[in-house]
Amino acid sequence: MNSLDTTVRFNKPASEEDCVAFYHYPVELEWMPTSETKSVFMVTFPDLPYAFFSTHGVTYGETKEEALLNAVDYLREIIESLIREKKDIPVPSPSKGREIVPVGISLTYLR
């Protein structure tokens, strides 16, 4: 994916009730030992620094796939929270070879 893949996109709603915004953010994946016999993938969002200060600042998974799936849910929570709180949503940086996590947010749901 190139840096254009990290932009925010909106679908063309069939009606006002169908408006969805699509966000694509790069993530950093790190393999972390949690004990002598177990390790997990840790996922962080470098473009969302305030996320690190919450009690749920990062997400994990036992496999890369599980970690990225968990990251989709986590990204949705962050973006929805920013929209509800009427805060700015940071612009995603270019992927630079990093994995991209996409998420669709129903703007109708958040009204």
Average pLDDT, the chain: 80
Task: Give the model confidence (pLDDT) of 68-84 as tens digits.
Answer: 999 999 999 888 888 88
The mean pLDDT of 29-55, rounded to a whole number, is: 80
* Domain residue spans of the chain: 3-106
Taking the model in full, what pTM does it have? 0.75
Q: Rounded to whole angstroms, what are the CA distances from 91 to 3, 37, 38?
A: 11, 39, 35
Q: Exposed, middle or buried by CB within 10 Å (0-12, 13-18, 19+), for 43?
A: buried
What fold, for 3-106? Double Stranded RNA Binding Domain (3.30.160)
Identify the pLDDT of residue 84.
Answer: 85
The tokens describing 17, both together, are 């009730």
